[in-house]
Amino acid sequence: MQQSKGRILWIDEFKGFVLLLVSLFHVEQSFKNIDFGMLHLSAMRMSAFFFISGVLFSTRRFKDFKSYALHKTEVLLLPYIWLSLLFLALDPVVWNFDWFPRAPKMQVLTIRPEIHTLKDYVGWNLAKIFVAGKSSVGSGPIWFVFTLYSISLMFFGVQKTSVILSNAKNPVLQKIIVAAVAASSLIAGWLLFKNHIRLPLGIERDLTCLAFFALGNLCKEPIQKLSKHSLLTFFLTIAALALYIYFEKPDPWFSIMNNDLGKDLPQFILSSIFGILTLIGAFQLFSKLPDVNVLRIVKGILRNISRNALIILAVHWWALLVLRIVFKPQLDKPIIAYLSILIVTAFSIGAIPLFRCKLYKVIGKEKTTVKESLSIK
C-alpha cells in the first residue's frame, strides 16, 4: 500500500472524502434550495468511516486495556467533551434565546423536551452530551467521536477475548469469534431500532457501529491483497457500485447517528457493504493514477481533511448553524444558497490553524505551525 511516515495514504484520502460527504450532506440538510443527491449516499457514509477505522485498529503500542483506554480517552473522549462544551457556549441560541424556534429540534433518548428558557436549553444540551452521547446542538457531528471511543474500547475487549478463547494459536477461530460478535451486535442494534429503544450513551448506535468496525478489522488482509491487483480491483469496484445502486433505497434514509436503519435489515447491510466496497476500490485505484498536479492537489486536500477531521466536523456544523438560524431567510434562495458552501469552507479553513496552533489541547493534538496545519502534502 502507498504509505508516508507509517500512514496509508489512500486510507487518509478515503477518510477525507467520507468526511467531505458528511459536510456536504449537512449543507444540503440546512437549505432546501441545495441538492447534491446526498440522500442516496446515506447508507454508506458513516458505516464506511467506522469500517475503515476497524481496518486501522491496532494494539501494537498498548500492552493492556488500561493503556489503550487512557490513549483513547486523551484523543477521543476528552476532545468530544471539550468541543461539545465549547460549541455549546458558541451556540447562537445561547447568545439570543429569541432564535430558539429556528434551532434544530432536539431529542434526548426518547424525549423531545419542552424548552421555555435558556436554562432549559443549556440543561438539555448537557443531557445530550453526557446522557445521550450525541454532543451539543452546536457541535452536532461530534457524536461520532464519542461513538468511535466507545466501540474502540468494546472491540479491544472483543479481540482480546477471541485470542483467549482460541488459546492464541488459531487465527481462523479468532476471526470466527469476531465475525460472530459482529453479526450479533448488528442484530442487537437492529432489534433495538425496530422496537424504538434508545439507551443512554447511544448504546444501540454503538452496537450497529461495532459491527462495521469489526467487519473492517476482519477485511484488513483481503484489502491489502486486493491493492496489488488493479484489474481485479477495477471490476470488483464496478460490480460493487452496480449492486449499491440496485440495493440502495433513499426512502426512508439511513441515519446511524439515530440508529435509523431503514425498513429492511438485509437491504441496509447489502447497501452499506457494497457502498463501502465501492469506495475502497475507487480509492485504491485513485492512488495508482499518475501523480499529476491536479490529482496531487485533490489528494492533498482530502488528506488534510482527514488529519483535521475533528476541527472541520465541529466548525463546519457550527458555521451552518449560525447561517441557518441567523441568515436563513437571506440565504435559502435558488443559487444564493450555494454561497453557504463558500462561507462554511472559509470558516473551516480558518479554524484549522487556530485549533492546531492555539487550541491543540482541546482536540488532543500536538502543537504545530500554521503552514503544517494547512499543508496538502
Residue 134 pLDDT greater than 70, yes or no = yes
Contact indicator for 129, 84 with CB cutoff of 8 Å: yes
Amino acid in position 25: F
Cell numbers at 215, concatenated: 467487519
Predicted confidence (pLDDT) per residue in 353-365, tens digit: 999 999 999 999 9
Predicted confidence (pLDDT) per residue in 224-265, tens digit: 888 888 899 999 999 999 999 998 887 767 888 889 888 888
Count of residues in the chain: 377
Higher per-residue confidence, 281 vs 42? 281
Predicted confidence (pLDDT) per residue in 16-29, tens digit: 999 999 999 999 88
Determine the Cα–Cα distance for residues 18 and 52; give it in Å rounded to an integer: 10
Residue 366 pLDDT greater than 60, yes or no = yes
Cell numbers at 355, concatenated: 485549533
Pick from 166, 216, 206: nearest CA to 185 = 206
Contact indicator for 129, 85 with CB cutoff of 8 Å: yes
Determine the Cα–Cα distance for residues 358 and 42; give it in Å rounded to an integer: 35
Tell how many helices (H) and how many strands (E) occur in the chain: 17, 2
Contact indicator for 34, 340 with CB cutoff of 8 Å: yes
Question: In a 3-state reduction of DSSP, which class is residue 8?
Answer: strand
User: What are the structural domain ranges in the chain?
Assistant: 3-373
Predicted confidence (pLDDT) per residue in 295-347, tens digit: 999 999 999 999 999 999 999 999 999 999 999 888 888 889 899 999 999 99
